[in-house]
Homo-oligomer: A and B are copies of this chain.
Amino acid sequence: MNSYGKAFRITTFGESHGAGIGVIIDGCPAGLTIDTDFIQQELNRRKPGQSRITTQRREKDEFQILSGVFEGKTQGTPIAMVIMNEDQRSHDYSHIAEQFRPSHADYTYQAKYGTRDYRGGGRSSARETAARVAAGAVAKLLLAQLGVKIEAYVSKVGKLALEKHYSELNIALAEENAVRCPDPETAQKMFDLIDATRKNGDSIGGIVTCVIKGTPVGWGEPVFDKLHAELGKAMLGINAVKGFEYGSGFEGASWYGSQHNDAFYTDEQGNVHTRTNYSGGIQGGISNGEDIYFNVAFKPVATIMQDQESIDLHGNVVTVTGKGRHDPCVVPRAVPIVESMAALVLADFYLRNRSARV
């Protein structure tokens, strides 16, 4: 199904080249002030055409609220937001109507549904994530009232890694360059690498790191719906994601318990903290008040400007030739998507946690 969340639930709709895309937010509490400029600004962070290292498809990505907001405030009723598609150029894609592009969703959709909207990837296009960003912006507005702040940035492109811990960075600087890496020097190297890749008609993968500050203690649930399990599902649901790790992550699997355990202490204000934070702000699936941080691995985008071997609908061998507009590297535009999905996870647990006690 096309919904995410239980208490703060979104349902998205729309294909890359259909009439429009959008989202319904169901369960947003009444009385939240909606800052439409902020929502548009978030959409702008994701939209195509921001620099020469992103796809040149042109979409204003202007959204319209159809319901749920009255006199600037949420009403407790469903908030529907729509973005009509403008620059559809369906003719760009007609040549692949019967071809299965390598490492795309063409074949699996066709096999599952017996049909598919082949225009620009249809439902499997990352265009759908604009709807998530619109919804995520509303979730961010809700979380901002609670002092929760979510910031993501690009920490790796190809083999080029930012070798600093998040605590050494001013993450806000990420928004000042096209790559969204908060270290200007590394950002420039990453930009050059992506640009060179683009010129080669190739694509390249990368990693986005996300840091969440100010999460109250108690969000998340035992057993299946652990906070990090939902974060993981939300991140793995983003197009092109291949891995998720939080806190000490894969590295932590090689440590001893005596190194890894985070000692508790009480600070001068009487607040509980841990001396280290290898737990990544989550223990037993529930937030402990420390920073939550995690990494999301993105594969190189499947669309490349090179000839590739493949088959068509009838099993015949074909050569897929790259056309259309694409991102040579998805991570710069993925930053607001990662933040949005994180915001949706947290907003959901915020509401669910209201039922924890009598």
Contact = CB atoms under 8 A, between A and B. Distances in A.
Nearest to A145: B358
Contacts of A77: 2, 13, 15, 117, 122-123, 222
A225 B1 contact: yes
Tell me which of A18, A284, A288 has the highest count of chain B C-beta atoms within 10 A of its own C-beta.
Answer: A284
B264 A123 contact: no
A265 to B, nearest CB: 6
A260 to B, nearest CB: 5
A202 B67 CA distance: 31
Q: Is the interface of A mostly helix, strand, loop or mixed?
A: mixed
Contacts of A357: 29-31, 76, 113-114
Interface stretch (A39-47, A163-171, A229-237): A229-237
B304 A258 contact: yes
B354 A286 contact: no
A7 interface: yes
A242 B250 contact: yes
Given A76-B112, A107-B272, A253-B298, 8 more contacts: A2-B223, A6-B6, A30-B115, A31-B114, A100-B272, A108-B217, A108-B282, A278-B299
Contacts of A31: 113-115, 357-358
